[in-house]
Chains A and B, each alone.
Chain A
Amino acid sequence: NAGVTQTPKFRVLKTGQSMTLLCAQDMNHEYMYWYRQDPGMGLRLIHYSVGEGTTAKGEVPDGYNVSRLKKQNFLLGLESAAPSQTSVYFCASSYHPEGPVGEQYFGPGTRLTVT
C-alpha cells in the first residue's frame, strides 16, 4: 500500500515549456486535490476532483489544467510555465462518505522551478 505517490519529485522548466505532474493513489479514494505551497502562504488549492471524470477549480486555478481519467490518477498540467509557478506541488486524496469529512492523505510533493 503505497498511499499517494507523485511523479516527478523535482523538475526544472524554462519559461514557456509544458509539463504534466502525475498523482496516483491506491486507497480507492473518490476525492483528489492539487495544492501548491509557497513560503508564508500555507497550501492553496489549485484544482480538485470529486470522482473519476470530474474536475473543478480551486482557489488558484489559472495557468493549470487537470484530468481524472482513472479513479486512481489525477494529472496536473502546466501548458506554458511561468516563473510565478515555481512552487512545491502537493497532491492529496480523501474518502468522504456522506457525513464525516475524512482527513486528506498527501503525497511527498514535487518541487518545480521555472527559470
Chain B
Amino acid sequence: AQKVTQAQTEISVVEKEDVTLDCVYETRDTTYYLFWYKQPPSGELVFLIRRNSFDEQNEISGRYSWNFQKSTSSFNFTITASQVVDSAVYFCALSGVRSGSARQLTFGSGTQLTVLP
C-alpha cells in the first residue's frame, strides 16, 4: 500500500519569508514518481513538479525548490521569499510503477499555506 503524509495542516507566514512544506511517503515500489500540486482558492489543481525515484537531484524553479531524499522517504517543497499569491493548499502525491498498474496517484491530505501581507 502507498501512503503520503503531510503533517503540517496549516502554515501561516508573512510575505517574503521562506517556507518549507513537508512530505513523507511510503511505498513498496522500487520505481515511483512524486508530485506536488497547488490548489489556489479558485479550486483548480495545478501541477508543479514530477520527480522519479531514480533522480535525487534537487530542483529549483524560480522561487520554488524541491528536496528529494530517498533515505528519509521525503520530498519537501520550499518557497523562497513567499508572496501573497502563494496562498493555496499544496498537495504531495505518489504514483508507483508496476506492470499493468493504473498509475494511480495517492495524495497527502494537503497543507494550507497562508501568506500574510
Q: A residues near B, CB below 8 A? A: 31, 33, 35, 40-45, 48, 50, 56, 58, 88, 90, 92, 94, 96, 100-106, 108-109
The minimal Cβ–Cβ distance linking B5 to chain A, given in whole angstroms, is 10
Interface centre among B33, B37, B103, B107 (most CB of A within 10 A): B103
Other A-B pairs beyond A45-B104, A48-B102, 6, CB < 8 Å: A35-B107, A40-B110, A90-B45, A100-B33, A106-B44, A106-B45
Contacting residue for A88 out of B4, B43, B102, B103, CB 8 A: B43
Interface membership of B35, Cβ < 8 A: yes
Q: B residues near A, CB below 8 A? A: 4, 9, 33, 35, 37, 43-45, 47, 50, 52, 91, 95, 97, 102-105, 107-110
